[in-house]
Every structure is written in C-alpha cells, then in structure tokens.
C-alpha cells in the first residue's frame, strides 16, 4: 500500500462545508431526540410523580434492561439483519444458568459461563445459518425464537416440574454474581442500578466501534451493500456472524441481570421483547434495510420506551394502553425519520 505523508492542506477550492443545521439534520438520532424531549415534557406536565430524580432513575433502569440488548439489535440492523430470538434468549440464558447449577449442584459461576457459551453458540448458529443458506434472517431467527421459546418451557418443566426456575439465592456464587450483574447503590435518595452504568458503557463502546473502528466501517458496509463490501475484501460472513453473537452476548448479559435480580425466572418470559428492541432501534433512526443508524439513537429509543412504560403508570392510566402508545410512537418515528432523511439528502444534493 502506498502511503503519502500529508502536509496540512490549504482549504481546497470547490469544497463545501455543510451548515450546522444540515449536519444536525443528517444525524440518525435527531428525530428520536426531539420525540424523547416532547414525551418527557408531556409526562412532566401530566404525571406529578414523574417529576423527581428517583423516578427519573427508575425510568433509566427500565430503559437499561431493554437498552442493553437493543444496542446489539441496533448494530445488527445496521448490519442489515434481524434477530427475533433476542427476546427469549435473555430467558434462555437465565434459565440455563439457574437450572444447570441447581440440578448438578455446582457453583453459579460455572453455570454463568456455560450459559454464556450456549448463548454465543445460538448467536453463531443464527448467523451461520443466515449466511450459509441465504435465507432471510427474519425467517431463520423466527425459527430460533420458537425453538428457544419451546425449549425454555419444556426443559424447565422437565427439570423443576413447574414453569419457573428454582430460587438460586442459596447456591454458591450468588453474592458475587449479584454484585456484577444486579447491584445498586444510593446517591442521596436516588437508587442507581449498575445495569444503567453497564448500558451507558455498552452504548459508548458501540458508538466508538461504529464510528471509529474498522469493524464499525464493516458493519455499515455489510448492511449498506454486502456485495460491494465483499468485493473490496470486507469479511462479510465474519462481520455478520459477529453481530449475531454480539446480540446473544448482550441477551446473556441481561439474562444474568434478570436472574440475579429476581432469583427465579418464569420460563415463558421474554416473548415480545424482540419487537421492543427493534422498535427502539427504528425509533432511534436505524434504517430497517440496514446501512444507516447509530448507537446513541438506539439508546434514545430505549429511553423513550422506559419513559412511556413508566410514565403511563405514574400518570395513573391503565397500563394496558402502553402497547398502543408504543405502536403510535413507532409509526411517528418512521414518518419523522423518512422526513428528516429526505430533508437532509435534498439539501445536500442542492448545496
């Protein structure tokens, strides 16, 4: 490769620098940010109990539980694929850990690592099958989704005889695992869950990876145009399989959190969450067809989810309306994104 040393170039003629407003508009998360602010103000006005630092951190906690997996799902969607098994894999992870250790009477750490290996294997299989067969990931992961959903219930029933896992709080390793995955500390009257900090960390890491690393470049490329990417030497298969495994890793992480927070898990849990992750990603400006989006947008999407799910309760409304609200949000987000994208590309072309 030839590499020239670059002396500071004089501002070249004919080069246009876009104005601040255009550059802002071109960012994927801008629509979600505006929506988040509007919803925040909306609940501040309508729900008096929403107006406290405590409830703000509860909202953050609620958002983090969704947001951690949503980061992975967002990356995967930027890479041009879906993962419908992301919701149930959280419970598969927790159940595997809990039941393995209960049944064999081993330290919970052993189970946690076995569960991690299992989740990574599922992610790998998802990616491998999608890449090898060329079948859309929507179908492949729909399959895994049903397999996991059935296996979660079936295996739990076989092992424990009921549809929930046994309490793990008496098994060795519980305290240390709890510290890692599910602890909280107090700042004044505010309870901060470590999952919120983990969430921020994962978002920061994903943002860095997407914008500033080679892998990030590859993720955008395989989502934007996998054939072009392959032709210039991007390892498409490895990148996509890696993305599926990232999702299942984050699913495992949240699974650990759920297990050590509640000590016992319902075997039928997690169903439907896969769509919430996708909604968070889309509301955050991720393009459904891949190749466009960012991690901060997805985080804002998850925050909108957390805000509405709790805001409705704080406002004293029937929480059954939550899903309807979420659906409206999704439709609005898609419209806003479409509008913003059209605006930004139009001005660009005209500049």
Partner 1 sequence: MTDTLAEHADSHLHKGEPLIEMDGVGKSYGAIRALRGINLRVNAGEVTCVLGDNGAGKSTLIKIMSGLHPHNEGSLRVDGAEVSFSSPREALGHGIATVYQDLAVVSLMEVWRNFFLGSELTAGSYPLAGLKVKQMREIADTELRKMGIVVKDINQPIGTLSGGQRQCVAIARAVYFGARVLILDEPTAALGVKQSGVVLKYVAAARDAGLGVVFITHNPHHAYMVGDHFVILKLGETALDKNRQQVSLDELTTQMAGGDELAELSHELGRQ
Q: Which residues of this chain interact with partner 1, rule CB under 8 A?
A: 1-4, 6, 9, 12, 14-18, 205, 208-209, 212-217, 220-221, 224-225, 227-235, 287, 291-292, 345, 348-349, 351
Closest approach, Cβ 112 to partner 1, in A, equals 23
Closer by beta carbon to partner 1, 222 or else 267: 222
As given in the structure block, the two tokens for residue 21 are 């407003």
Closest approach, Cβ 244 to partner 1, in A, equals 17
What does DSSP assign to residue 49?
G
As given in the structure block, the two tokens for residue 233 are 């030497």
- Run of H or E including 190: strand 190-193
Closer by beta carbon to partner 1, 230 or else 261: 230
Closer by beta carbon to partner 1, 176 or else 345: 345
| Residues paired with residue 193 on neighbouring β-strands, in sequence order | 184
Distance CA 284, CA 302 (A): 8
As given in the structure block, the two tokens for residue 43 are 């609940």
Closest approach, Cβ 18 to partner 1, in A, equals 7
Closest approach, Cβ 328 to partner 1, in A, equals 28
Residue 193 CA to chain centroid, in angstroms?
18
| Residues paired with residue 191 on neighbouring β-strands, in sequence order | 186
Closer by beta carbon to partner 1, 34 or else 346: 346
Q: Any idea how long the chain is?
A: 351
Distance CA 173, CA 111 (A): 10
Closest approach, Cβ 205 to partner 1, in A, equals 8
Closer by beta carbon to partner 1, 187 or else 232: 232
Burial (0-12, 13-18, 19+ Cβ within 10 Å), 271: middle
Closest approach, Cβ 234 to partner 1, in A, equals 5
Closest approach, Cβ 127 to partner 1, in A, equals 17
Closer by beta carbon to partner 1, 52 or else 213: 213
Closer by beta carbon to partner 1, 179 or else 212: 212
Distance CA 295, CA 293 (A): 7
Closest approach, Cβ 290 to partner 1, in A, equals 9
Annotate 280-295 with b (16+ C-beta within 10 A) or e (fewer).
Answer: bbbbbbbbeebbbbbb
Closer by beta carbon to partner 1, 176 or else 228: 228
CA-based nearest residue to 207, from 280, 285, 288, 296: 296
CA-based nearest residue to 66, from 215, 351, 278: 278
């Amino acid at each position: 490769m030839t590499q020239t040393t670059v002396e500071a170039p004089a501002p070249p003629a004919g080069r246009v620098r876009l104005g601040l407003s255009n550059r802002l508009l071109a960012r994927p998360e801008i629509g979600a940010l505006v929506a988040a602010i509007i919803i925040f103000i909306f609940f501040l006005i309508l729900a008096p109990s929403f107006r406290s630092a405590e409830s703000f951190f509860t909202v953050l906690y609620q958002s983090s539980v969704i947001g951690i997996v949503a980061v992975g799902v967002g990356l995967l969607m930027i890479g041009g694929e879906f993962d419908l098994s992301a919701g149930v894999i959280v419970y598969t992870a927790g159940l595997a850990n809990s039941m393995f250790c209960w049944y064999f009477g081993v330290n919970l750490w052993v189970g946690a690592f076995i569960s991690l290996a299992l989740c990574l294997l599922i992610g790998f299989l998802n990616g491998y099958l999608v890449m090898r067969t060329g079948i859309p990931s929507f179908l492949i992961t729909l399959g895994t989704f049903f397999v996991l959903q059935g296996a979660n219930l079936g295996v739990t029933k076989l092992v424990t005889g009921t549809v929930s896992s046994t309490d793990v709080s008496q098994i060795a390793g519980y305290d240390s695992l709890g510290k890692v995955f599910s602890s909280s500390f107090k700042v004044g009257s505010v309870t901060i869950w470590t999952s919120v900090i983990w969430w921020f960390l994962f978002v920061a890491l994903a943002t860095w990876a997407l914008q500033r690393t080679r892998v990030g470049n590859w993720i955008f490329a395989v989502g934007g145009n996998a054939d072009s990417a392959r032709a210039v030497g991007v390892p498409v298969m490895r990148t996509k399989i890696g993305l599926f495994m990232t999702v299942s890793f984050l699913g495992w992480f949240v699974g650990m959190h759920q297990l050590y927070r509640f000590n016992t898990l319902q075997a039928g849990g997690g169903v439907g969450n896969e769509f919430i992750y996708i909604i968070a990603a889309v509301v955050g400006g991720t393009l459904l067809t891949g190749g466009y989006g960012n991690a901060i947008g997805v985080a804002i999407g998850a925050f909108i989810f957390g805000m509405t799910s709790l805001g409705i309760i704080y406002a004293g409304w029937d929480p059954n309306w939550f899903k309807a609200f979420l659906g409206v949000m999704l439709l609005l987000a898609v419209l806003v994104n479409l509008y913003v994208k059209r605006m930004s590309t139009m001005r660009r072309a005209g500049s």
